[in-house]
Amino acid sequence: MLTGRLDAVVPLPLEVLPAPGQFHLTAATTVAAVDDAASDAVALLRRRVAPLPSATAAAAGRHDRPPSSIVLTSDEADPALGPEGYRLRIGTERIEVVAGGHDGFLWAVQTLRQLMPPELGDAGVPPDGVAVPCASIHDAPRYPWRGAMLDVARHFFSPADVCSVTELLAAYKLNRLHLHLTDDQGWRIEVRAHPELATVGGQTAVDGGPGGAYTQADLTAIVEHARRLGVTVVPEVDVPGHTNAALSALGWLSCDGEPRPPYTGTHVGFSSLCVEEERTYGWLDDVIGELAALTPGAWIHLGGDESAATDAEAYRGFVTRALDLVRAHGKVPVGWGEIGAAELGGPTVVQHWFDPRPTLAAAAQGAGIVLSPADRTYLDQKYDESTPVGVTWMGAITTERAYAWDPARSIEGLDPDRILGIEAPLWTETISTRAEVERMLVPRLPALAEVAWTSEASREWRSFAARLAGHRGRWDADGIAWTADPSVAGLA
């Protein structure tokens, strides 16, 4: 009989209390949910744990629960758990998931999946069943923003690739997928008011790669797939710099009115929209309006980084206007740290990556801060000198280095109450395949997931490394490429 284990859950829950006995999962085990909010969790359970039969919703009721069942309910949900917290009670007769909302049910199923052996899944339950150790698990995240960024502008990745990355994020309870959709090398999203952005600006990539762009239907499908997994897509259109692809498609966005030649290199800081011209803001309003309609999440990211080709004063004025455009479409604007030098003018999220000064200025204006310090979270940095792809401008980032920091103390003078969470960017100047993406994410992404989810007082490197080593069989079973990192005993 296959047997699960309690000592390999990543990220580490708030509380795990082992109990005597085992729950025996068999092909006859039923799944029942009281709440519509649990429907995506039930689908995930059947798809990633076992194709189990349904019981009626009434059977999930408190006084009529069948033997050998998995029950998902909001009965007795503790409001203190918040929208993402859950309780998982594994007894000898049944497993009970208690959560207050959609995402809490999903995270409980991801934990339950990790309690079961990796061999279980698409093959179904073996004839002699699976033994799951009994326990009571109480869990909720430290931070509400736990994410990763995928750069699809330097190299294009198919919708299937993006959805695969989303599955990986969700497996470790990361709830934001930031898509860097535009840059100097490519524009990756259809804008119906300006189709040339995709048809012209989308056809290039670093080193002359094939390029590509998502249709609006593609992005809608990506967003819905992510939503069903508890992940919110945050789309980014990077302005006013990093805009050569837009300038090559629509020359009138440049101050001289001339289209720029396509760019396939990796230098930064040389391009800029003509921020003095009113037509630029009309164009940006069109783009933001279409993105806002396509993405039901609360945020749109406007970039704002490395705008060396834009006059400093004009840059600040542009940022203030651009943020207001996002708010006018009902979204909260997000920008890289540099936008903190401007007058933000309302609710804003600022993503710190390098210089703390504009981040602190943004926090002083009331902005929420997402931490992406390049020396800890930039997963395009190599693990060590032997890593075949990646860069080293911030030095090597081993899994241990990605794990060994406290967001609350990462910027001197930053009020911890302003921190929304952390995000791990993966820039793709040197990365062009799904396997390369996976190897740069795994095993460092689970480390950052634990930094974002688990309290600092509960985290300890040796405990994490031991738990993480138990996931290699799961990665192999799921067909995920991963890097043998010498900093993790058991993964070298």
Q: Domain holding 111: CATH number?
A: 3.30.379.10
The answer to whether residue 352 is domain-embedded is yes
Query: What is the C-alpha to C-alpha distance for residues 238 and 126, in angstroms, rounded to an integer?
Result: 50
Residues 120 and 168 in one domain: no
Q: Domain holding 403: CATH number?
A: 3.20.20.80
The answer to whether residue 76 is domain-embedded is yes
85 neighbors 91 (Cβ within 8 angstroms) = no
DSSP one-letter code for 340: G
Beta bridge partners of 137: 16, 88
Q: Which domain holds residue 195?
A: 145-455
SS3 237: strand
387 neighbors 434 (Cβ within 8 angstroms) = no
Residues 171 and 312 in one domain: yes
Handedness of CA 471, 477, 482, 485 (dihedral sign): positive
Residues 230 and 376 in one domain: yes
The last residue of one of the domains, among 107, 139, 171, is 139
For 60-74, 98-112, 235-249, 315-329, which range has the lowest pLDDT when averaged over its residues?
Answer: 60-74
Query: Confidence band (pLDDT; 50, 70, 90) for 61?
Result: low
The answer to whether residue 477 is domain-embedded is no
CB atoms within 10 A of CB 295: 21
Residue 271: pLDDT over 80:
yes
Residues 62 and 18 in one domain: yes
Residues 254 and 373 in one domain: yes
The answer to whether residue 474 is domain-embedded is no
pLDDT digits (tens, 9 = 90+) for 359-377: 999 999 999 999 999 999 9
Residues 422 and 330 in one domain: yes
Active site residue 306: yes
In the predicted model, what is the mean pLDDT of residues 314-329?
98
Q: Which of 183, 391, 152, 374 is nearest to 268 (CA)?
A: 183
pLDDT for the residue numbered 123: 67
Q: Which of 142, 210, 220, 143 is nearest to 179 (CA)?
A: 220
The answer to whether residue 247 is domain-embedded is yes
For 25-29, 220-224, 360-364, 420-424, which range has the lowest pLDDT when averaged over its residues?
Answer: 25-29
pLDDT digits (tens, 9 = 90+) for 168-211: 999 999 999 999 999 999 999 999 999 999 999 999 999 999 99
Residues 426 and 301 in one domain: yes
Residues 130 and 166 in one domain: no
Catalytic residue among 196, 306, 385, 423: 306
The answer to whether residue 175 is domain-embedded is yes
The two three-digit tokens of residue 319, written as one number: 């940022």
* β pairing state of 182-183 and 69-73: unpaired
Annotate 204-225 with b (16+ C-beta within 10 A) or e (fewer): bbbeebebbbbebebbebbbeb
Supply the DSSP string of 65-108, one letter for each residue.
--SSEEEEE-TT--GGGTTT-EEEEE-SSEEEEEESSHHHHHHH
Query: What is the C-alpha to C-alpha distance for residues 284 and 188, in angstroms, rounded to an integer?
Result: 15
Query: Confidence band (pLDDT; 50, 70, 90) for 81?
Result: confident
445 — phi, psi (to 5°)? -60, -45
The last residue of one of the domains, among 93, 123, 139, is 139
Amino acid, single-letter form, for residue 340: G
Residues 152 and 124 in one domain: no
For the full predicted model, state whether its pTM sits above 0.95.
Answer: yes
In the predicted model, what is the mean pLDDT of residues 41-65?
74
* Mean pLDDT score of the chain: 95
The last residue of one of the domains, among 120, 139, 158, is 139
Residues 293 and 326 in one domain: yes
Omega within 30 of 0 (cis) for the link into 443: yes
pLDDT for the residue numbered 54: 81
Residues 195 and 219 in one domain: yes
SS3 455: coil
Query: What is the C-alpha to C-alpha distance for residues 200 and 248, in angstroms, rounded to an integer?
Result: 7
Query: Confidence band (pLDDT; 50, 70, 90) for 122?
Result: low
Beta bridge partners of 178: 149, 234
Amino acid, single-letter form, for residue 12: L
3-state secondary structure 185-217: CEECECCCCCCHHHHCCCCCCHHHCCCCCECHH
Residues 188 and 85 in one domain: no
Query: What is the C-alpha to C-alpha distance for residues 90 and 24, in angstroms, rounded to an integer?
Result: 10
Q: Where are the alpha helices (DSSP H) in 295-423?
A: 312-328, 356-364, 374-377, 399-403
Omega within 30 of 0 (cis) for the link into 51: no
The answer to whether residue 449 is domain-embedded is yes
State how many domains the chain has: 2
Angle between helices 216-228 and 278-294 (to 10 degrees): 50
The answer to whether residue 211 is domain-embedded is yes
